[in-house]
Each structure stands twice: as C-alpha cells, then as structure tokens.
Amino acid sequence: MTDREPKLDVYLVRHGRSESNATSNTILGRCESSPLVSSGVDQARRVGVSLSKAGLLPAAVYSSPTVRARSTADLALQAAGLTGSGAEVVEEAALHEQDVGAWFGRVASLTFDDEVLAQIARSGKDFRPPGGESMNDVATRMLEWLDSLTVPFPPPGPGPVLAFTHGGAVRALVSRLRGWTHAQTYATKPSNCSVTLVSSGADRMWRCEFLALTADEAFTRRTAERSIP
C-alpha cells in the first residue's frame, strides 16, 4: 500500500489521566465513572490544540462510553475549535477498556497469585478473568469495529477518524496487528493521551503506522507524509 492509494486513517487516542490511574494496586478495567484529574484535563486540551495546529479535520469522532474517554473527546474538540462544526462524538462500545469481570475492584497484588500467574502463562493472550475478556477478545472487537468503517471503500468524508479509547484496548489491537507475544503486549503501556495510528487501504488490511506518540508528533507526522508529492 503506497501513500498515493486511498486509505482510511484512524487515530486512537488514549484518554487523559483519570482518578482510576492513581489506584495502581486495584483492578478496575472499564470503571465507567472515573473522571479526569486536572492533569488529564490539560492533556485532553493539548490533544485538541495539536489537532488544530496540524490542520486535521476529522470525518468522524468516536469515543468509548466511559466518563474519562468521553470527557477527553469533548475537551479535545473544544480546544480544537470543532465544537458545533459537525464533528459530533459518537459513543462506541467496541472502544471500551478490557472487561475484567469478577476481578473488578480487587487488590491486584492479592489476585495475581502463583496459580493465576501460571494460568496466564499457559493461556497467554487467551487468558480471561472470570466473567471478563481476554486480550484476544478485545483485539477482535476492536478489529470488527474498524472493519465496519471501511464499508463502503473508499470511506466517505475527506478526513481521518478520531477514536478516544483506552490503553488496554490499544495494546490488544496493536498486538494482533503486529503479532506480538503476550509478554510484549503486557509490557506495552501507552501513556495518557498518546496517539496511535492504524490505517487500511483497498485491501481492507489494517496496519499500525505508529504507536503511542504525543499528539503533536502523531498529527504533524501524518500531515507531513500526506504533503509529500
């Protein structure tokens, strides 16, 4: 796939820092209601400023239904001057964080005992917490959502898609696209408000162009690539 071929770019933006990020020894997973902290609000606004500076006008904007992701989306669009411009945020359940099932709210250091760690080692990316999702489950739902965006192809609209989501969802998807092991996937921790770009061409194959860049780096890099004659 060359840069001259029509392609769909989807920027995956992890949400800003939230209250749940400060509870590192508690398993929270989706944690629907966790709000952004003040630094997370600033991070979200900087995403919007970077978007505006790069001159990118999204064809569509999606967000996980969680408070932290939706707030990040709203703040970014406001800072980019796109509020009321037609760039409405659509909530999409496929962008949710990994569902940790019965482990929600449990103490991580007490949950990951030797027996559980052995199960994870055996199952790898197929390991599921009781009543929850595996990394592969998350990757599959993310890919199914991405595939839905490519019908028809070329996609409608002149610009890229913005999707505000979660670190676990991003790393599960990229792990699938790049063929990572469970260990590689688990070690990958996209920072708050980092931007990952995936793209698809006429072959309908998704590729990870880059992972977890700052918004400035991500948006300016792609615009520069597109401007090369």
Binding residues for substrate: 14-21, 68
The predicted model scores a pTM of 0.93
Nearest CA to 107 among 116, 120, 95, 98?
116
Q: Please identify which residue in the block is written with the tokens 């508690």.
A: 26
| Whole-number pLDDT of residue 119 | 97
pLDDT at residue 99 in the model = 97
What CATH class has 8-227?
alpha beta
Cis amide linkage into residue 156, ω under 30° from 0: no
Binding residues: 14-21, 68
Mean predicted confidence (pLDDT) in 28-34:
90
- The active-site residue, picked from 32, 88, 97, 225, is 97
Where helices occur in the chain by DSSP H, the ranges are 38-54, 67-79, 108-111, 114-123, 135-149, 167-178, 182-187, 215-227
Number of H helices, E strands in the chain: 8, 6
pLDDT value at 3 more than 60: no
* Lowest-confidence region among 87-91, 104-108, 184-188, 220-224: 220-224
- Residue 187 CA: distances (Å) to CA of 132, 168, 181: 20, 11, 10
Q: In what side-by-side order are the strands of the sheet with 60-63?
A: 89-91, 60-63, 161-165, 8-14, 195-200, 206-213
Instruction: Let me know if 166 is a catalytic residue.
Output: no
pLDDT category of residue 221 using cuts at 50, 70 and 90: confident
Examine the residue annotation and report whether 97 is marked as an active-site residue of this protein.
Answer: yes
Greatest pairwise CA separation for the chain in angstroms: 57
Q: Is the pLDDT of residue 87 over 90?
A: no
Across all residues in the chain, what is the average pLDDT? 92
Out of 15, 96, 166, 182, which one is annotated catalytic? 15
pLDDT band at 103 (very low <50, low <70, confident <90, very high): very high
